[in-house]
Amino acid sequence: DTAVSQTPKYLVTQMGNDKSIKCEQNLGHDTMYWYKQDSKKFLKIMFSYNNKELIINETVPNRFSPKSPDKAHLNLHINSLELGDSAVYFCASSQVKRGLYNEQFFGPGTRLTVL
């Protein structure tokens, strides 16, 4: 059973398009995350949702909008894609108890290429 799954695994699209990446976790966790890994392998958090509430919102262009329909899903919608959005996007989940971030589990990543 896949704990954290993402779809699609690869996404190739043209500049200016709108696209979504989906993430689902079956671990029963209450917190989910989106990270971006750039070409230099640097991983940076973008968003975090706890029980469908946004708790981390780093400096990310407002073209990126996370959507959490329930605790098990956190989707990432990107409007007006730009070349610089090309990266690998990772979803993760964990349980947060009394403000402590417990062990995170990562999905396999989505490689986005904007042409």
User: Contact positions toward other proteins, by CB under 8 A?
Assistant: 33, 35, 41-45, 48, 50, 53, 55-56, 88, 90, 99-106, 108-109, 111
Query: Is residue 17 a contact partner of residue 59, using CB atoms and an 8 Å limit?
Result: no
CA 41 – CA 22 distance, rounded (Å): 22
Please, what is the minimum distance in Å from the beta carbon of residue 60 to other proteins? 14
Pairing of strands 64-70, 10-13: unpaired
Closer Cβ to other proteins, 75 or 90, answer by number: 90
Closer Cβ to other proteins, 14 or 41, answer by number: 41
Please, what is the minimum distance in Å from the beta carbon of residue 58 to other proteins? 9
Closer Cβ to other proteins, 79 or 113, answer by number: 113
Query: With helix as H, strand as E and coil as C, how does 89-101 read?
Result: EEEEEECEECCEE
Please, what is the minimum distance in Å from the beta carbon of residue 4 to other proteins? 10
CA 28 – CA 1 distance, rounded (Å): 13
Facing residues of 43 across strands? 37
Closer Cβ to other proteins, 38 or 82, answer by number: 38
Please, what is the minimum distance in Å from the beta carbon of residue 26 to other proteins? 16
DSSP state of 18: -
